[in-house]
Amino acid sequence: MRSVVQRVKQASVSVKGETVGKISTGLLVLLAVGQGDGEKEVTWIVDKIVGLRIFEDEAGKMNCSVQDVRGEILMVSQFTLYGDCRSGKRPSFMTAAPPEQAKALFKQIIEATRSRGLKVETGVFQAEMDVTLINNGPVTILLDSEKKF
């Protein structure tokens, strides 16, 4: 699994001009499921996202998680995080999971995150979406369950 996690003051996602998910302070999570991902990767990514200490404490140090600051999460599926551009100029998405597998695991991730007491808004799986955000910091973290970066 791969994810781009951004600390935001606010974020929203819309489909065909209609807002389908919106949060205030929290995390915008762009998430991609890879071939071979399963329960182990779901647990890893949820633990990592929920536990990331990227919010400032009273001393101004990044020492608090989204749970600590009672933040919200906007989670958007983005298979293009598996785009491989090492050969040529057109990305290959061969290592991204097929849509059926990705959708099932994406739903599991959402439910597992909500079960931690967090408000989680989402985009629409496989839809063309417009995402807007105010990145706070800016703070942007890359996650990969295979630890490739």
pTM: 0.95
pLDDT digits (tens, 9 = 90+) for 25-80: 999 999 999 999 999 999 999 999 999 999 999 999 999 999 999 999 999 999 99
From the candidates 25, 55, 67, 79, give the one annotated as an active-site residue.
79
* 80 included as an active-site residue: yes
Q: Are strands 26-32 and 18-23 parallel, antiparallel or unpaired?
A: unpaired
Q: The tokens of 149 are what? A: 């970066």
From the candidates 80, 126, 132, 140, give the one annotated as an active-site residue.
80
The predicted structure's pLDDT at residue 147: 86
The predicted structure's pLDDT at residue 148: 78
The ranges assigned to domains in the chain are 2-144
* 79 included as an active-site residue: yes
| Residue 90: CB atoms within 10 Å | 7
pLDDT digits (tens, 9 = 90+) for 75-123: 999 999 999 999 999 999 999 999 999 999 999 999 999 999 999 999 9
Beta strands in the chain (DSSP E): 2-15, 18-23, 26-32, 55-56, 62-64, 72-77, 119-122, 130-144
The predicted structure's pLDDT at residue 12: 98
Is the pLDDT at 149 greater than 80? The verdict is no
Architecture of domain 2-144: 3-Layer(bba) Sandwich (3.50)
How are the residues of the chain apportioned to helix, strand and coil, as percentages rounded to the nearest 5? 20, 40, 35
From the candidates 6, 78, 113, 122, give the one annotated as an active-site residue.
78
